[in-house]
Structure 1
Amino acid sequence: MSPIVEVLPDLAAVVDRALDLLLPRLQAAIAERGLATLALAGGNTPKPLYERLANQTFPWEKVHIFWGDERYVPADHPDSNQRMARHAWLDRVAIPPGNIHPMPTDAAEPAVAAQAHDAELRRFFQVAPGEFPALDVILLGMGDDAHTASLFPKTEALQVCDRLITVGHKDGQPRLTFTIPLINTARCILFLVTGENKQQALAQVFAPAADPNQYPSRLIRPINGELIWLLDQAAGAQWATQ
């Protein structure tokens, strides 16, 4: 399925559109399967979306929350993706604690934590080794180096295809991250990308040919699901006029 790309005026418009796309897909999942699964992105771009979600009347008790990646810091650390989402949204709505599935960052070795979270996801989704569950929606951002989640250019994490969770590295700092096959099994992948500094990376991501190990977001190609890119004008102006 070809990606859908929408270029919107600014971050506020990106958030509005993301909300319009996200809520119906969660509702449809609940109607079909009795619950919805959503993986969150970190960084600054999705925070206004989470703040908007906190004000929505929605059956949050039927939504299960995951994270696409996490910095290997304590849950109360200012850099924690979990902490940001909880403060902006999850602590402000009536969602059962058991519906929130953060990546563990308390093991001495990140690889051990990755294995533990892999096992937790397999239990939750009831999938065997070698199988990949389909989350209903995965929210992603993209850095100016074209990384997404914690899948950084020319790192070993890009080659992991037999696990749900692996360890990513940036500047020597470990992170936990969804693997590419897990992301690509999602029913809907929704990128939120803003800022002029993303233009060059986007040009490579959408180029007819480029090295995906250098531009990891090129590797995000859902098997059967939707792939939607929401760009603000600053990020998408160059791409939109090609």
Structure 2
Amino acid sequence: MKKLVEILPDKQALIERSLTLVLEKMQSAIQERGQCTLALSGGSTPKPLYEALAEQPLPWEKIQVFWGDERYVPSDHPESNQRMARQAWLDRVSIPAANIHPMPTSAGDPARDAQNYETELQQWFKLHSGEVPVFDIVLLGIGDDGHTASLFPRTEALKVSDRLVTVGNKDGQPRLTFTARLINQARCVIFLVAGESKRPALKQIFAPSGDEMTYPARLVQPKGELWWLLDKAAGAELNSTTSDQRAIGDQSLKANN
């Protein structure tokens, strides 16, 4: 795994850096494989990134958009990750409808919809039984509790190792989520993290040893590149908690593992 950590001066710099990085990875994927497969995250942090992507002159027919997790609500619900991404980005560009692959939430049964999305992934990636899709880019964030996607602390979803998509649980509310197994096959995983409230969780996630059941983001160890893009408010304490990094400039840390 190649691990890189960058601490940016503020959230605006974080979004600008993430845009540059995502565009670079998109271009590489299209050049190498003819298309780019991208899994989106929800939450407030990536929304400005999606808005910035909507302004780019990209070859939309070569970009395939999926979601790494979704609240189990209708697609037009204010809390829907799909709705946010469509409003901020996808409805504003000429991407073919067939290139957008939202998580289904209409069966009335989260487990069945998780299976339906897993089947869609297997069919779209043309996989045989037991094979795992390899996404070009997976975007993630973390919560103050150290969760990522809808992999929440001390929940059953963290133990799922034989599925691609499973049901997450937040305070009794079901969500659909990629499993750690699927996330970790990606060529590039990019965490976007902003805000001082994330510091305690980051300290535990970056600690040399720790409990993945308590801080699920520790489970993310992809076979490809792992990028942590943090604003200064979130990453200010990492200098004292990460021994495998070397400072570059005033605000940036990078490391290769």
- In the TM superposition, structure 1's runs of 4+ consecutive aligned residues that sit over 6 Å from their partners are none
Counterpart of 2:232? Answer: 233
* Equivalence map 1:39-50=2 (5 Å): 39-50=39-50
Q: Could you list the per-position Cα deviations for residues 147-171 of structure 1 after superposition, in whole angstroms to 9, with x for gaps in the alignment?
A: 0000000101001111110000001
The answer to whether the aligner puts 1:176 opposite 2:170 as a matched pair is no
In structure 2, C-alpha distance between the alignment counterparts of 1:15 and 1:99, rounded to whole Å = 24
Q: Does the CA-based 8 Å contact 1:14-1:230 persist in structure 2?
A: yes
Q: Does the CA-based 8 Å contact 1:7-1:240 persist in structure 2?
A: no
Counterpart of 1:17? Answer: 17
In structure 2, C-alpha distance between the alignment counterparts of 1:147 and 1:129, rounded to whole Å = 29
Q: Could you list the per-position Cα deviations for residues 184-213 of structure 1 after superposition, in whole angstroms to 9, with x for gaps in the alignment?
A: 000000000001000000000010111111
Give the total of aligned pairs: 241
Q: What is the aligned-residue RMSD (CA, Å)?
A: 0.8
The answer to whether the aligner puts 1:62 opposite 2:62 as a matched pair is yes
* Equivalence map 1:72-87=2 (5 Å): 72-87=72-87
Counterpart of 1:51? Answer: 51
Q: Could you list the per-position Cα deviations for residues 31-54 of structure 1 after superposition, in whole angstroms to 9, with x for gaps in the alignment?
A: 111111000010000000000000
* Equivalence map 1:21-36=2 (5 Å): 21-36=21-36
Amino acid at match of 1:114: A
Amino acid at match of 1:98: A
Displacement of 1:60 after TM fit? 1.0
**Larger deviation, residues 135-144 vs 124-133:** 124-133
* Paired residue secondary structure (2:52): helix
Amino acid at match of 2:13: A
Displacement of 1:2 after TM fit? 4.3
The answer to whether the aligner puts 1:127 opposite 2:127 as a matched pair is yes
* Equivalence map 1:81-160=2 (5 Å): 81-160=81-160
Counterpart of 1:6? Answer: 6
In structure 2, C-alpha distance between the alignment counterparts of 1:97 and 1:11, rounded to whole Å = 31
Any unmatched runs of 5+ in structure 1? none
Q: Does the CA-based 8 Å contact 1:41-1:140 persist in structure 2?
A: yes
Displacement of 1:23 after TM fit? 0.7
Amino acid at match of 1:240: N
Counterpart of 1:193? Answer: 193
In structure 1, C-alpha distance between the alignment counterparts of 2:48 and 2:95, rounded to whole Å = 19
TM-score by length of 1: 0.98
Any unmatched runs of 5+ in structure 2? 242-257
TM-score by length of 2: 0.92
**Larger deviation, residues 21-30 vs 138-147:** 21-30
Amino acid at match of 1:143: G
* Paired residue secondary structure (2:181): helix
Counterpart of 2:164? Answer: 164
Amino acid at match of 1:226: E
Q: CA 1:25–1:2 in structure 2 vs 1: closer, same or farther (change >3 Å)?
A: closer
In structure 2, C-alpha distance between the alignment counterparts of 1:18 and 1:240, rounded to whole Å = 21
In structure 2, C-alpha distance between the alignment counterparts of 1:24 and 1:3, rounded to whole Å = 17
In structure 2, C-alpha distance between the alignment counterparts of 1:115 and 1:184, rounded to whole Å = 19
* Paired residue secondary structure (1:73): coil
Displacement of 1:129 after TM fit? 2.2
In structure 2, C-alpha distance between the alignment counterparts of 1:172 and 1:137, rounded to whole Å = 30
Displacement of 1:241 after TM fit? 4.1
Amino acid at match of 1:171: D
